[in-house]
Amino acid sequence: MQRRTFIKNTSLATAGLTILNFPVFGKNAPSNKVIVAVMGVNSRGAYLAKCYSELENVEVGYICDVEEKAIGNGLEALKKAPRKPGIVKDIRKLVAQKDFDALIIAAPDHWHAPAAILGVSHDKHVYVEKPCGQNPYEGELLGEAMKKYNKLIQMGNQRRSMPTLIQAAKEVREGIIGNAYFAKAWYANNRKSIGIGKKVAVPSTLDFELWQGPAPRRDYQDNLVHYNWHWFWHWGTGEACNNGTHEIDCCRWFLGVDYPTQVTSSGGRYAFKDDWQTPDTQVASFEFGDSKSISWESRSCNIFPVEGAGRGFIIYGDKGTLVNYGGGDYKVFDVANKLVKEVKSDEKADPTNPVSATGNLDLYHFNNFIKSIKGEATLNSPATEGHKSVLLCHLANIAQRSNSTLHCDPSNGHITNNKDAMKLWRREYEKGWEPKV
């Protein structure tokens, strides 16, 4: 789907709706624009800034980053936008600004929940990329923050807004494959070694104090910024939360389950011997009582496809099977494996693309957030729902790190059998930077 086609279609869908029913800065503007600020604009965030700037009646008023090259990337992404954004490096100063309505967060994982809480506590709506927390505790904090401040927080599991997948989920719930009882998801890539980092002086272009923010202080090393922080437990959440969130979320959504009763994980850092701490190979299993289960396979360093795709998910039922190939497309097979339905997508999923694996299909999710702010829609993935899927990924990591089978409370996902594993439910924070609701 071309961006201009999406914008044209959504413009027609919202034609005539010009009065906002909420107290934001844009309400008094002649154009009724929603003003957003984007935190973290090196790569994915620059893409977000560009996409939001091209939505109907949306303007990027600010970009926020702690590194000069990233700021340059953000400005480049917005070079054709009608408004030149202001630049604020410190998120604490940015949220204090009164002249914007929503905060878009694409910073490293350890900043997601703390920044989101700063946003809603300063009267901003928030769009936060997955995962919605660096640990399970932070996901729960976001639910508390939404309730306390009465602001919207949308998580960036974009498949929740893709029309074809909304249709597919509805069909599964209505019985197109009978009783859906098992789901399998996968992700494959060809990531290279990150080597052994050297402790060096912080580059003059980077404010490493602000970059670390809520994380306890560590020395800077030369294989950390911009992307490799994903593979360090101190800042990142591994491939499970980095990419597994998307398909695991779809599995949970299609099966209609919430919190697991048991979680296991196997794998490790197999492909290379380097500083990478999280698994590059991981197989996790989630059980929901005695009726349904989900499995997820991740191969960060071997891109051989499953079902011809580098990522995707399969829903198994007693009368058939639904197969997704990583984007908005899917096929339905009957119990004899005969193809009975096929829905194709204009965008082909690319698991190796760190900016947008599903292309402009992401725009549906961005637009859902903006329309929800305007009161024209409801969030397709509020943080309270997104947290349930991210929690599965966190539990897989906790099972992996603690080398144990986790038994969980089906009412909230809390670990019930392992005090040592439960210590990984939350992290330590740098003094004075603790997220608070």
**Domain annotation covers residue 215:** no
For residues 227 and 177, state if they share a domain: yes
| pLDDT of the residue at 31 | 54
For residues 136 and 105, state if they share a domain: yes
What is the domain extent for residue 18?
Answer: 3-159
**Domain annotation covers residue 94:** yes
> Rounded to whole angstroms, what are the CA distances from 125 to 20, 38, 372, 400?
14, 12, 10, 35
Peptide bond preceding 305: is omega within 30 degrees of 0, i.e. cis?
no
For residues 140 and 185, state if they share a domain: no
For residues 124 and 260, state if they share a domain: no
Does the structure show a pLDDT above 80 at 29? no
**Three-class DSSP labels, the chain:** CCHHHHHHHHHHHCCCCCCCCCCCHHHHCCCCCEEEEEECCCCHHHHHHHHHHCCCCEEEEEEECCEHHHHHHHHHHCCCCCCCCEECCCHHHHCCCCCCCEEEECCCHHHHHHHHHHHHHCCCEEEEECCCCCCHHHHHHHHHHHHHHCCCEEEECHHHHCHHHHHHHHHHHCCCCCCEEEEEEEEECECCCCCCCCECCCCCCECHHHHHCCCCCCCCECCCCCCHHHHCCCCCCHHHHHHHHHHHHHHHHHHCCCCCCEEEEEEECCCCCCCCCCCCEEEEEEEECCCEEEEEEEECECCCCECCECEEEEEEECCEEEEECCCCCEEEEECCCCEEEEECCCCCCCCCCCCCCCHHHHHHHHHHHHHHHCCCCCCCCEHHHHHHHHHHHHHHHHHHHHCCCEEECCCCCCECCCHHHHHHHCCCCCCCCCCCC
For residues 136 and 44, state if they share a domain: yes
Q: How confident is the model at residue 353 (pLDDT cuts 50, 70, 90)?
A: confident
Does the structure show a pLDDT above 80 at 2? no
Q: How confident is the model at residue 354 (pLDDT cuts 50, 70, 90)?
A: confident
Number of domains in the chain: 2
Q: How confident is the model at residue 17 (pLDDT cuts 50, 70, 90)?
A: very low
| pLDDT of the residue at 43 | 95
pTM for this entry: 0.93
For residues 145 and 266, state if they share a domain: no
Average pLDDT of span 281-305: 98
**Which residue, of 111, 133, 159, is where some domain finishes?**
159
- Here the CATH number for the domain that contains residue 302 is 3.30.360.10
For residues 171 and 57, state if they share a domain: no
Residue 250: both structure tokens together: 């779809």
**Domain annotation covers residue 103:** yes
For residues 253 and 187, state if they share a domain: yes
For residues 93 and 63, state if they share a domain: yes
For residues 91 and 134, state if they share a domain: yes
**Domain annotation covers residue 202:** no
- Here the CATH number for the domain that contains residue 102 is 3.40.50.720
Q: How confident is the model at residue 7 (pLDDT cuts 50, 70, 90)?
A: very low
**Domain annotation covers residue 367:** no
Q: How confident is the model at residue 26 (pLDDT cuts 50, 70, 90)?
A: very low
Q: In the chain, what percentage of residues exceed pLDDT 90?
A: 89
For residues 398 and 254, state if they share a domain: yes
**Domain annotation covers residue 180:** yes
Does the structure show a pLDDT above 90 at 295? yes
For residues 11 and 141, state if they share a domain: yes
Task: Give the pLDDT confidence of 62-103 residue by residue, as tens digits.
Answer: 999 999 999 999 999 999 999 999 999 999 999 999 999 999
**Which residue, of 137, 159, 181, is where some domain finishes?**
159
Does the structure show a pLDDT above 80 at 294? yes
CA nearest neighbour of 91 among 100, 79, 81: 100
**Domain annotation covers residue 371:** no
**Which residue, of 141, 159, 177, is where some domain finishes?**
159
**Domain annotation covers residue 368:** no
